[in-house]
Amino acid sequence: MAIFRNPFDHRFRLSSKGCSCGQHGSEAEHAAAAADGLAASSDETLRLRRSVENAVMRALFPVDEQRRNFLKVVGASTAYAAINTLFPIAAATDVLAQGAPLEKKDLKVGFIPITCATPIIMAAPMGFYSKQGLNVEVIKTAGWAVIRDKTLNKEYDAAHMLSPMPLAISMGVGSNAIPYTMPAVENINGQAITLAMKHKDKRDPKSWKGFKFAVPFDYSMHNYLLRYYLAEAGLDPDTDVQIRSVPPPEMVANLRADNIDGFLAPDPVNQRAVFDGVGFIHMLSKEIWDGHPCCAFAASKEFVTTYPNTYSALLKAIIEATAFATKTENRKQIAEAIAPPNYLNQPVTVVEQVLTGTYADGLGQIKRDAKRIDFDPFPWESFAVWILTQMKRWGQIKGDVDYAGVAKQVFLATDATRLMKEAGLTPPTTTTKTFSVMGKVFDPAKPEEYIASFPIKRI
């Protein structure tokens, strides 16, 4: 291909007659002769640079003879240097490599040190951000409220959030209403109910009356799943037990101090409680709802519209990281990348047990469940509808809710579809699906009937 030839070589012809170097009758003959030539180069950046250089040289020397004479006289390196001062070839190559120019390259992305944030975190040490030409600093943050405030303040360009948070922020529940978007789910499953060791004989939730539980945040899947699980066992989560919101890092300390009886928390908190002999894993959240979303990658609508190319590159990096994390054979490598103090700050074995799904349950058994945590970026709109039904069920939102409308506005399924295709994943063809939670089927088309069907609710 002539376009990938070195245009600073006077022996090559840039026009398409005969072969590119002029020594052979046709391009095919030339290719056979120059198997080790640039035509065989598989290096993508070199190819990109060649095509930029070619465009520049063709523009400067419309007649190819002139170019070849010029190069013969001054030499290739002098010519390259002279032309590079007129036209920054390297910069132009960068731009081409990224598709469209990035409006902003230095980004700050906030995260909470839990394994749900795996794609966001691993994309930094494993180079998924830099591959998109982004310079992303991932900043560890103390809690969900702080991450919300720092994102609303624009200290962070985008952040790791709990998937109900962008919905809550967009509707102005628990904060000022600011249009928010959630273009990708980070992980599915990956949470667990952990109980203190002293309760190891109380495995039936009906015997949990009077327990004190911790969840990471009021607007979290953890809260809704725990409430759902308790209510299915006949306990009223508001009157029969106490549920408080405790930042994940403080949960194990509180469990050890006997301040709480258990928690439904993200990992590595559950596994850390087991690791330190403080608690045992009662059940994985996967057993409540297999494939439930948990955390999400979120950005303000303003960021999405002001920096469309940056947003697209960032989302692409996250989706590619997610695709990498989906493969179980990569999980050990990821655990090593995200366990150090700069990221999760946990012993590697704890993170590894979470990601590989081969784990100690705290009661002396080794369990194996490769889907303990999984990664699937697609933001199903029906997930949003389910979350909204639970918000309404527990009185966090009141009155009429435009379920489908809010879901469509916040969960950006179309962007995810496009970028998932580019990352080599197969996105689903629809944006809603039915699923069942503890055996009860949820139909996203009938949210109100779904809420009405529960005996325990706050409406």
Q: Considering only residues 364, 405, 424, 455, which one is a binding residue for other proteins as defined by CB under 8 A?
A: 364
Q: How far is the CB of 163 from other proteins (least distance, A)?
A: 22
Subset of 327-346 contacting other proteins (CB under 8 A): 340-343, 345-346
Of 143-151, 210-218, 298-306, 370-378, which segment contacts other proteins by CB under 8 A? 143-151
The rounded Cα 43 to chain-centroid distance in angstroms is 28
Which pair of structure tokens corresponds to residue 376? 């699937």
Q: Which of 158, 118, 166 is nearest to 134 (CA)?
A: 158
With binding defined as CB under 8 A, does residue 137 bind other proteins? yes
Interaction of residue 201 with other proteins, rule CB under 8 A: no
Could you tell me the smallest distance in angstroms from the CB atom of residue 174 to other proteins? 13
Q: Which is nearer to other proteins, 28 or 142 (CB)?
A: 142
Q: Which of 77, 153, 426, 429 binds other proteins (CB under 8 A)?
A: 153
Q: Does 369 bind other proteins (CB under 8 A)?
A: no
Cα 74 to Cα 72: distance, rounded to the nearest angstrom: 6
Q: Is 196 in the site for other proteins (CB under 8 A)?
A: no
Q: Is 276 in the site for other proteins (CB under 8 A)?
A: yes
Question: Considering the complex, what minimum distance in angstroms separates the CB of residue 268 from other proteins?
Answer: 10
Shortest separation between residue 363's beta carbon and other proteins, angstroms: 10
Rule CB under 8 A: say whether 277 interacts with other proteins: yes
Q: Where do we find the tokens 């060649």?
A: 50
Contact flag: residue 139 with other proteins (CB under 8 A): yes
Out of 63, 366, 426, 455, name the contact with other proteins by CB under 8 A.
Answer: 366
305 binds other proteins (CB under 8 A): no
Under rule CB under 8 A, residue 146 binds other proteins: yes
- Integer Cα distance of 269 and 264 in angstroms: 10
DSSP state of 411: B
CB 9 within 8 A of CB 76: yes
First to last CA, the chain: 69
d(CA 381, CA 385): 6
- Ramachandran region, residue 405 (left: φ > 0; alpha: ψ -120 to 50; beta: rest): alpha
Give which of 285, 284, 313 is closest to 299, Cα–Cα: 313
Using the minimum distance from each CB to other proteins, give the nearer residue, 126 or 401: 126
CB of 398 to other proteins, least distance (A): 25
Residue among 376, 391, 442 at smallest CA distance from 167: 391
Sequence-distant (≥ 6) Cβ neighbours of residue 56 within 8 angstroms: 7, 83, 87, 89, 92
CB of 409 to other proteins, least distance (A): 25
DSSP 3-state of 58: helix
| Cα–Cα distance, 71 to 13 (Å, whole number) | 12
**Which positions touch other proteins (CB under 8 A)?**
113, 124, 137-142, 146, 149-150, 153-155, 249-250, 252-253, 256, 272, 274-277, 340-343, 345-347, 349, 353, 359-360, 364-366
